[in-house]
Amino acid sequence: EAGVAQSPRYKIIEKRQSVAFWCNPISGHATLYWYQQILGQGPKLLIQFQNNGVVDDSQLPKDRFSAERLKGVDSTLKIQPAKLEDSAVYLCASSGQGVADTQYFGPGTRLTVL
Amino acid sequence: AQSVTQPDIHITVSEGASLELRCNYSYGATPYLFWYVQSPGQGLQLLLKYFSGDTLVQGIKGFEAEFKRSQSSFNLRKPSVHWSDAAEYFCAVPGKKSSGDKLTFGTGTRLAVRP
């Protein structure tokens, strides 16, 4: 079974530029999550999708971050414009809808904002 | 709000020694609890999870964890550490009693292994 795919793996940009990350979840997984992991901290949820609808985006800085999940499969997370404090690893995870289902994580995208 | 605390930021053990990583939770009811491991440059991999039933949970790579309600703890253990276990370990709890919900992670414990 293929895991969660993310691209790119690494990205370096200057502040005020824009950037986009892509995630392809495990086939059949209805729920998709984007987490932000700042160095030295645990991951923090940015947004959660159930199929193509948003379940929770309370922690998403909506003035600069946006995310979409077209057709309930792939997802894109965008930052525009980027700030220095956005430097982090962005992790995508997916899970089914059952009580026993677990979140499976992709390798992440490491973003450096200069 | 549900939360987990990992009191140890960094732990160093010798190869072959036993290991215990601490996790304390704050939750309104019997929680679901998870331990994940993150190797350098990798995503998070699930080691084990507790939902209900037997309070001693076996996981992958020889890890186990014990749920202790009286102490609000879910400590991770391994009897003999291997050099490949060097990584960062995260305890996590979901926002509601379902594994299909966002996870709240602790700050992590970084494990170093002495040869």
Q: What is the DSSP string of A24-39?
A: E--TT--EEEEEEE-T
Task: Specify burial of residue A13 (Cβ count, 10 A radius: 0-12, 13-18, 19+).
Answer: middle
Mean model confidence pLDDT for chain B: 91
- Identify the closest residue of chain B to A33 by CA–CA distance: B102
Q: Please state the rounded mean pLDDT for residues B22-27.
A: 91
pLDDT digits (tens, 9 = 90+) for A38-85: 998 999 999 999 888 998 899 999 999 999 998 889 999 999 999 999
Look at residues B110, B82, B114 and name the one whose alpha carbon lies nearest to residue B6: B110
Contact A61, A78 (CB under 8 A): no
Percent of chain B exceeding pLDDT 90 equals 72
pLDDT interval class at B35 (50, 70, 90): very high
Name the amino acid, one letter, at A112: T
- Give the closest-approach CA distance of A99 to chain B in angstroms: 5
pLDDT interval class at B98 (50, 70, 90): low
pLDDT digits (tens, 9 = 90+) for B44-79: 999 999 988 889 999 999 999 999 999 999 999 999
Q: What is the pLDDT of residue A104?
A: 92
Chain A CB contacts of B42 below 8 Å:
107-108
Q: What is the pLDDT of residue B76?
A: 98
Q: What is the pLDDT of residue A106?
A: 95
CA distance A90 to B43: 10
Token pair of B90 as six digits:
């995260």
Look at residues A63, A66, A67, A62 and name the one whose alpha carbon lies nearest to residue A52: A67
Exposure string of B59-90, with b = 16+ CB inside 10 Å and e = fewer, is beeebbbbbeeeeebbbbebeebeeebbbbbb
Percent of chain A exceeding pLDDT 90 equals 80
Q: Please state the rounded mean pLDDT for residues A12-33.
A: 95
Q: Coil, strand, or helix at residue A85?
A: helix
CA distance A104 to A113: 27
Chain A CB contacts of B40 below 8 Å:
none
Contact B99 A95 (CB under 8 A): yes
Look at residues B73, B61, B67, B78 and name the one whose alpha carbon lies nearest to residue B20: B78
Interface of B with A (CB under 8 A): 34, 36, 41-46, 49, 51, 90, 92, 98-108
Chain A CB contacts of B34 below 8 Å:
102
Size of interface A-B (CB pairs under 8 A): 59
Q: What is the pLDDT of residue B54?
A: 87
Percent of chain B exceeding pLDDT 70 equals 94
pLDDT digits (tens, 9 = 90+) for A72-93: 899 999 999 999 999 999 999 9
CA distance B20 to A86: 33
Using CB atoms, pick whichever of B42, B100, B104 lies closest to residue A95: B100
CA distance A39 to A43: 9
Looking at per-residue confidence, does A79 or A1 come out higher?
A79
| Pairing assessment for the beta strands B10-14 and B44-50 based on DSSP bridges | unpaired
Report the residue of B99, B107, B109, B110 to disrupt the A interface, i.e. the one with the largest count of A CBs within 10 Å. B99
Contact A48 B45 (CB under 8 A): no
pLDDT interval class at B31 (50, 70, 90): confident
